[in-house]
């Protein structure tokens, strides 16, 4: 048997940038372990549909220039941290110094915070399942550490904007770690953007740990261009009575992959995972989610919607694992898919592993097209084809868009959605 391919040596060169000692040490360790890591292939179950879109050319191994020019002009309300090509741009960032809340780039951490962070990094992820997160751990050049002391509340959403300048080919490894102590609260918005046209790979990892009763909302908006492959992983660990909410809105590209892994480790924990994915052209988008009910009496609710136009391809894989001791678990997973063209493809797969007997677990998946009768009803009132198609497609995701708790994200998503509708639906 042919051995599985491994990373080319170009990716194993030590990454640059100055980091505090403990983080450098961690990165080096992780790098050593990468040498014989098998890369995903068609035979790798969780990369079955996507491995052929993953292009790890040597050209992509290069670090990106620390501060590219041509930064996107961002006018974001509220608190923001701007990263460009994997490192923070302090001039573009603006966030408050709030008692009990640490918001700091990895590069600026003092040794004790850096040591504390180094101990935590990767502890929310099953790194066997998320191969590409291991590459991030070996190559991140900077990152954002957010630590909320007990009962600390960030009063406004914090935007983490990661921008690829696309002036050079290479890869970026944005990294976020959110440590939310008990009863603290934060809303973090991750926005992934790009300009330029050089091929780039973004390999991002975001981790959340929630203490007892912590309340964390994560909003993730992926809007990079056709030159960007984006592979992202989000790991979440929840203690008792904590609540985690995730709203992912993603637009397609040559490869978009997101692994979202939530572990409900304390009784009374609750998570809600919403996702909207829109693909067109030859784009590819793959969402893998995993919810582990480790402790008893937890609730999880997951709702994902894919819309695929043209020859694009969307994948949803939703795993729910209810451990033996997780009695009285309540898990609800729903995935609906809309094909806007006969050339589009959607693959959806629930994976249920239930080892406790007293649980409620419901799941459902559908794949359909726009309803012809509904369309006829709308146009019979004089509404144009494009508008009618748009209304019906929005109807498919409205409920999820409405739930996004940050208006600026809703607006940005709607603008991009309108472009998609204009490109997808012809005016008759």
Separation of first and last alpha carbons in the chain? 55
Residue from 112, 374, 414, 423 touching other proteins (CB under 8 A): that is 374
Distance separating alpha carbons of residues 12 and 30, to the nearest angstrom: 10
Half-sphere exposure of 310 (CA within 13 A, CB side): 15
Q: Which is nearer to other proteins, 72 or 391 (CB)?
A: 391
Binding mask 387-406 for other proteins (x = CB under 8 A): xx--xx-xxx-xx-------
**Residue entry with tokens 């084809």:** 385
376, 414, 415, 423: residue in contact with other proteins (rule CB under 8 A) = 376
Cα–Cα distance for residue pair 381/173, rounded to 1 Å: 51
Angstrom distances, CA of residue 73 to CA of 142, 290, 309: 22, 36, 30
Nearer to other proteins, 109 or 338 (CB): 338
For 374, the 3-state DSSP assignment is: helix
* Phi, psi dihedral angles at 149 (to 5 degrees): -70, 170
* Tokens at 82, concatenated: 């701007």
Which residue in the set 384, 403, 414, 422 belongs to the binding site for other proteins (CB under 8 A)? 384
For 129, 173, 305, the CA distances from 53, given in Å and listed in that order, are 18, 19, 22
If one asks whether residue 340 binds other proteins (CB under 8 A), the answer comes out as no
Contact stretch for other proteins (CB under 8 A) within 149-157, 216-224, 326-334, 386-394: 386-394
User: Rounded to the nearest whole angstrom, what is the least distance from the CB of residue 339 to other proteins in the complex?
Assistant: 17
Shortest distance, position 189 Cβ to other proteins, whole Å: 25
* CB-CB contact of 242 with 217 (8 Å): no
**From candidates 373, 406, 407, 417, binder to other proteins by CB under 8 A:** 373
Q: Which of 66, 115, 361, 383 binds other proteins (CB under 8 A)?
A: 383
How many residues sit in the footprint of other proteins (CB under 8 A)?
Answer: 23
Q: Footprint of other proteins on this chain (CB under 8 A)? A: 372-374, 376-385, 387-388, 391-392, 394-396, 398-399, 428
């Amino acid at each position: 048997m042919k051995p599985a391919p491994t990373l080319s040596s170009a990716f194993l060169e030590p990454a640059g940038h100055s980091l505090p000692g403990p983080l450098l040490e961690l990165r080096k360790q992780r790098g050593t372990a990468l040498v014989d890591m098998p890369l995903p292939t068609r035979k790798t179950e969780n990369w079955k549909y996507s491995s052929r879109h993953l292009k790890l050319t040597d050209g992509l191994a290069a670090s990106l220039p620390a501060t590219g020019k041509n930064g996107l002009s961002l006018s974001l309300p509220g608190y923001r941290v701007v990263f460009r090509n994997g490192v923070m741009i302090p001039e573009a960032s603006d966030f408050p110094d709030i008692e009990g809340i640490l918001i700091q780039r990895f590069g600026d951490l003092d040794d004790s915070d850096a040591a504390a962070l180094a101990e935590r990094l990767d502890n929310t992820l099953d790194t066997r399942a998320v191969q590409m997160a291991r590459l991030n751990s070996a190559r991140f050049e900077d990152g954002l550490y957010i630590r909320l002391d007990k009962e600390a509340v960030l009063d406004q959403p914090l935007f983490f904007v990661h921008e690829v300048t696309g002036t050079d080919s290479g890869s970026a490894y944005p990294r976020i770690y959110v440590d939310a102590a008990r009863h603290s609260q934060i809303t973090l918005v991750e926005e992934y953007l790009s300009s330029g046209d050089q091929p780039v790979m973004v390999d991002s990892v975001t981790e959340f740990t929630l203490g007892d009763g912590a309340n964390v909302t994560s909003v993730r908006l992926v809007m990079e261009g056709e030159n960007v492959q984006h592979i992202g992983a989000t790991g979440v660990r929840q203690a008792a009575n904590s609540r985690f909410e995730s709203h992912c809105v993603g637009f397609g590209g040559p490869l978009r992959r997101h692994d979202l892994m939530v572990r409900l480790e304390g009784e009374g924990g609750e998570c809600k995972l919403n996702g909207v994915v829109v693909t067109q052209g030859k784009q590819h988008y793959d969402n893998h989610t995993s919810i582990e009910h480790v402790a008893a009496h937890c609730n999880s609710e997951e709702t994902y919607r894919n819309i695929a136009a043209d020859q694009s391809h969307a994948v949803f894989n939703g795993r729910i694992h209810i451990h033996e001791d997780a009695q009285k678990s309540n898990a609800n997973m729903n995935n609906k898919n809309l094909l806007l063209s006969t050339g589009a493809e959607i693959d959806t797969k629930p994976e249920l592993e239930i080892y406790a007997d007293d649980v409620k677990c419901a799941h459902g998946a559908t794949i359909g097209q726009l309803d012809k009768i509904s369309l006829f009803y709308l146009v019979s009132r004089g509404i144009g084809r494009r508008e009618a198609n748009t209304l019906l497609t929005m109807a498919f995701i409205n409920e999820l868009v409405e739930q996004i708790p940050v208006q600026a994200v809703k607006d940005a998503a709607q603008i991009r959605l309108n472009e998609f509708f204009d490109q997808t639906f012809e005016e008759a």
